Amino acid sequence: MIFHEVQQVFQVCSYLLSYPNKEFLESFDDLKEDIHLPSFLSIKEELFQFLHKCKQMSPSKLISVYINTFDFGKKTNLYVTYMSNGEQRERGMDLLFLKNYYKIHGFAVTDQELPDYLPIMLEFASHVDQEIIIPVFSRYFASIKEISENINPEDNHYGHIMKAILLALEAIGISKTVRRSETLCSTSFSG
């Protein structure tokens, strides 16, 4: 049951990292009622802190914070391979790897976003088994952690979401980066 809760965290965080449009803002009360995380009260608290702070802000302020954090922040953008590779050729290899990995595991990615976009990675993680998540998130853990470290929850409400993601990853045993995984190399691309 604990992994089911972790999947819920990934789903909720993916959604909460969306652009804060009108429908997003109107969904807060329903979302708060739908978050059931009896095994992870600290994660639930981070999510509730985010929602509480959002409700205290005007829609224009929410949009401004989102844009300044994720669109203009070089160290806080949501493209996890950009953190380690920038625009280098290696990033293209990581993007291809992710796209193929998703496809192999039955997750279709549109061309509207790159496959290293954190909300897409979280959406993927909310639909697949734990053993499928671990190699991917272990590979990019350092980048996700770096994004989180550059968003202080005291100054920016999105820090609560990033903290919740890290707590969820740690709950399933991901707390460091493993660039290559034997499991990933030996099982993911067979058949």
List pLDDT tens digits, range 84-112: 655 666 788 889 999 999 999 999 888 88
What pLDDT score does 88 carry? 66
What pLDDT score does 7 carry? 95
Q: How far apart are CA 66 and CA 132, in angstroms?
A: 30
List pLDDT tens digits, range 11-32: 999 999 999 988 888 888 888 8
Q: What's the CA dihedral at 62, 68, 69, 70 to 10 degrees?
A: 100
What pLDDT score does 178 carry? 77
Taking alpha carbons only, the member of 87, 21, 50 closest to residue 162 is 50
Q: Which fold has domain 2-187?
A: TorD-like (1.10.3480)
Q: How far apart are CA 102 and CA 107, in angstroms?
A: 5
Give every CB contact of residue 125 below 8 A, 6+ residues apart in sequence. 7, 10, 133, 136, 137
Q: Are 78 and 147 in contact (CB under 8 A)?
A: yes
